[in-house]
Amino acid sequence: MPEHLLEVKDLRQHFPIKTGFFRKTLLKAVDGVSFTIDKGETLGLVGESGCGKTTVGRSILRLYTPTGGSVKYKGDEIDDSNIQRFRREMQVVFQDPYSSLNPRMTVGDIVGEPLDIHKLYTTPGEREEKVANFLQLVGLNADHKRRYAHEFSGGQRQRIGIARALAVDPEFIVCDEPVSALDVSIQAQIINTFEELQQKLGLAYLFIAHDLHVVQHMSRRVAVMYLGKIVEMAPADEIISSPRHPYTQSLMSAIPIPDPKKARVRRRIVLEGEVPSPLNLPSGCAFRTRCRYAIDQCVTQTPELMVMSPGHEAACWNPQNN
């Protein structure tokens, strides 16, 4: 058996952008991302909007054809010629439950469509039974299969999306900011649903989010992205308590603390300057224009992930100790 369920190595996703007459510039949405995910594990992927998190998830599933790099699932490399045989084992839950469900289809047809595509039943009765079981698995009533998506709340719609992903019995799911469009009270319910399904079915998740509390709660390990690159990766508790990259430290300092006394004495790290344009990145380290600890080496050389401690890596020429 392969060592990892999913292995992403040097993944690149570049999009040509028209910047003038007969002129195009490459937008490096993902530029050399590498990580692994084991069976039953959750890897959290965090960063600012536009850093490339969603593009990573879609490139893994080959919703976008990667510009370069490799993605291996159970030791087999995925490419355009064999992606169909991996579709059953790799699924996605999209961010927006309002736009990811077909308004013209009943819930039964939405959840049952993957069963139709992959021919996972022999009789109409078996199909109906499977749809009802998947709806109940995510906390919905089997009678809901006759209704349409617009008749449900945001949290219920996201549960429908989860049921659709589970319909083909996958082992790995890309969760693309699945709670960011929901009310806070509903977010907790959906997160609990993901955790219960993981324990019951042994699922592995790539959990993409910008809410660090959610990621810490869900993930065993966390990877932090900035402008298409992973700048730090570590166990969830360690990256919260001992971040080494200046960008990660700034993100962690922004997490609200419920204790007013602790909040008053905490040092808030405010980043200066604007995020560079991904079409015109600075030389060397892309974060150097906003970093108070930048040194001469940051201008000329792009840092790679380096081991700071066992299981903890950061891409920084001048990592900071808390």
The yes-or-no verdict on residue 48 having pLDDT over 90 is: no
CB distance 6 to 73 below 8 Å = yes
Q: State mean pLDDT over 38-62.
A: 93
126-133 long-range Cβ contacts below 8 angstroms, 24+ apart: 130/167, 131/167
Closest CA to 146 of 105, 115, 116: 105
pLDDT at residue number 18: 86
Residues 6+ apart with CB under 8 A from 258: none
Q: How far apart are CA 37 and CA 41, in angstroms?
A: 6
**β-bridge pairing 221-226 and 42-46:** parallel
Q: State mean pLDDT over 86-108.
A: 90
Residue type, 88: R
Q: What would the pLDDT profile of 179-188 be if each residue is shown by its tens digit? A: 887 888 888 8
The yes-or-no verdict on residue 1 having pLDDT over 60 is: no
Q: Is the dihedral of CA 231, 237, 238, 241 positive or negative?
A: positive
Closest CA to 242 of 294, 312, 195, 307: 312
Domain residue ranges of the chain, discontinuous segments joined by +: 6-89+209-314
Residues 6+ apart with CB under 8 A from 75: 1, 2
Half-sphere exposure of 56 (CA within 13 A, CB side): 37
Identify the band that residue 19 occupies on the pLDDT scale cut at 50, 70 and 90.
Answer: confident
Q: What would the pLDDT profile of 209-222 be if each residue is shown by its tens digit? A: 988 888 888 999 99
The yes-or-no verdict on residue 31 having pLDDT over 60 is: yes
Residue type, 227: L
- What is the value of pTM for the model shown? 0.92
Q: What would the pLDDT profile of 117-175 be if each residue is shown by its tens digit? A: 999 899 999 999 999 999 999 999 988 999 999 999 989 999 999 999 999 999 999 99
Q: State mean pLDDT over 29-54.
A: 93
pLDDT at residue number 263: 64
Half-sphere exposure of 19 (CA within 13 A, CB side): 12
* Proportion of the chain in helix, strand, coil states, percent, rounded to 5: 35, 25, 40
Q: What would the pLDDT profile of 240-289 be if each residue is shown by its tens digit? A: 889 999 999 888 887 777 767 766 666 777 777 788 888 888 999 999 99
* Phi, psi dihedrals of residue 66, rounded to the nearest 5°: -60, 145
Q: Is 141 exposed, middle or buried (0-12, 13-18, 19+ CB in 10 A)?
A: exposed
- In the chain, the DSSP E strands lie at 6-20, 23-37, 42-46, 68-73, 76-77, 90-93, 172-176, 204-208, 221-226, 229-235, 306-309, 312-314
pLDDT at residue number 57: 94
Q: How far is CA 171 from the centre of its chain?
A: 16
Provide CATH code, domain 6-89+209-314. Answer: 3.40.50.300
Q: How far apart are CA 67 and CA 35, in angstroms?
A: 17
Residues 6+ apart with CB under 8 A from 237: 216
**β-bridge pairing 221-226 and 204-208:** unpaired
pLDDT at residue number 267: 72
How would you list the strands of the sheet with 76-77, edge to edge? 23-37, 6-20, 68-73, 76-77
Q: Which two tokens stand for residue 125?
A: 């009765």
